[in-house]
Structure 1
Amino acid sequence: MVHKFRNIANMKVVGLLLLTGFSAVFASEQLWMELMSAQIVNADGDVANADKNIPQLATDLGLKTLVTLVKKAGLVDALSGTGPFTVFGPTDDAFSKLPKPFVDFLLKNVTVLADILKYHVANGKVLSKDLKNDELVPSLLGSDIRINIYKNGEIITASGRQVTLPDQEASNGVIHEVGGVLFPPPGTITSVVKKCPVFSTLLKAVGAAPGIAGTLDGKGPFTLFAPSDKAFAKIPEKCLDALLKNTTLLTKVLEYHVVPSTMYSAGLSCGDKLKTVEGGDVKVTKVFGRTWINRSRVTYADGTTTNGVIHVINRVLFPRCANDICGDAYADDDNDNKENADENIFKAFFSN
């Protein structure tokens, strides 16, 4: 509608220009006012939705699933209020990617549904230009939404979900469309490792290396490339036992999995080299929608925590100082379809 109004105004001016000639235009106050009006329309085009509140604007933007769930959760009146609010609104496609059993659970548990939706909303009106990297924005739920900005502002994420259409202004706030559903962080990186069942060996390793747990419990932010139990199972048993008994080497190996910044998948580019806490670099490769860290494939990405993000990987990463711990015996087949089970378990963990 905005573009249509702009086009009509511009066509009207162009027509007048053609009919009267340029000299007549600048001699006529009326025609000058027509030109000025068209320019004002263009300048004000970005606030053309200012007469619609957030639920109404979400409907116009085609966020049908979000609007349906907001109604189901009884939040329409709240989001129609004075505000102002900042809403990170998932697209219909984002909702469609959620596991169906989880969606069914939400529809039957309105309180949980309302909590997840509240995590998408913050008090105040914040435009994309005002967001800062690693800014923690308190949501209506109480948990912080972590903002990250990559590639000189070209990419913005909210708790790891990329903003696909920013700054859609409403009468009581602003909507930033996002390509994924946000989930409240279940705790620090260390607490997630303790609670999630696919990390039992990693938890054992962290327990055997005093200091690393404290690091991952700190303020951060950190990115943990977390080997699942199946990743550790690819290490020959005698090598793993030797590693777990060597505290100094184990600490270095674990630190090699930690990057001292928040690197969601949207901020990773093929060829990136990330400096780890251990001091060495890990290399990022992205091919056909999949991401590798060195020779390890990311099987589940963007698990948000209160102090960073976890990416699950299918191989343990070894820094150069650990090259002789297993040697060629560490080589293993990448084609392990059973790893999907780990992915589903971890996805379910972050969805609860």
Structure 2
Amino acid sequence: MDIKQLKQDVITYAHSIGIDSIGFTTADPFDELKQKLIDYHEKGYASGFEESDISLRTEPKLSLPTARSIIAIAVGYPNKLKGAPKSVKGDRRGMFARASWGQDYHTIMRNRLDKLAEYLKTRVPDIEVQSMVDTGVLSDRAVAERAGLGFAGRNGFVINPDLGTWTYLGEMLVSVPFEPDDPLMDSCGDCTICVDRCPTGALVGDGQLNSQKCISFLTQTKGYMKDEYRYKIGNRLYGCDTCQQVCPKNKGINTQHDDIVLEPEILKPRLVPLLKMSNKEFKNTYGHLAGAWRGKKPIQRNAILALAHFKETTAIPDLKDVALNDPRPMIRGTAYWAIGQILGEEATEFINEHYTSEIEEVQQEMIKGLEQES
């Protein structure tokens, strides 16, 4: 078998099925990453969404013992929403992060990786493969970096020369010893725009991210939003793109694919209708988005916070309805908080009227709603 020719054929085929960038690396352990992950957890930066077993994250052959190489792929996604509706007083809207635009990227990437795997099996019938996207145990970014797809920027994203940071990443462990590609050199230089513009100071500055401060992570949590971040999330319903939007390496880049269909009314939805949406309605409307993976509760909480951010007085009747009737304490409490923030002293009578009938955790939010300064 001519492995060098096979590699070229794989690259050609990959481009034909919508893979924008492809690279190859060995299946050797990621020793440097291992120490970084240890430090990351010791500093309390982890989100809790990652694989906790550091050995699995850094030793590819624990996932596929016969692995000789890793094929890394990147698919660019759009960052411009043509025909986006305006968010105006009386008709406020929220926003899903760009990585959640269109069909769930896990599906998009798996479809491409499955096609690539089938192609490899036609060329090497006894090949063994294992594909991973996001929820796999390996670090997509570490694999992509070592495979030469890009370099790690200060914002923690892999910066690809042609796609910028607007990429979905995935990888495939294979039992074929492909020649590895060379990593790219870091070219952030002295630029610190992403670090300087991060709304919560979540970027440490060396490419590391403190997930506990990151708005993208915070919008996905299910409990009460910490007080210090409630006005930081703005109208973000899921995720945050600030550190990508300000990156000079992303200037002029907007990759399009036929299977990433943009729906402006869904990606930038009205906030008030979200407040009382049923599970069925949420699943039917947003279930195909990656941003729906945590369910409707975080999205609804974030919608309430966004209305407080906008000081949207026209939403008060709906917020009062939620505060009085929603069965979930966290949602009721956040609604009471928002009412207090929007109306100020005018909310005192309403909150006092219902204070004694509420449980303690909601009462605490009622008090904070009247006291906390925006």
TM-score range, shorter chain: under 0.3
Q: Which has the higher strand share?
A: 1
TM-score by length of 1: 0.27
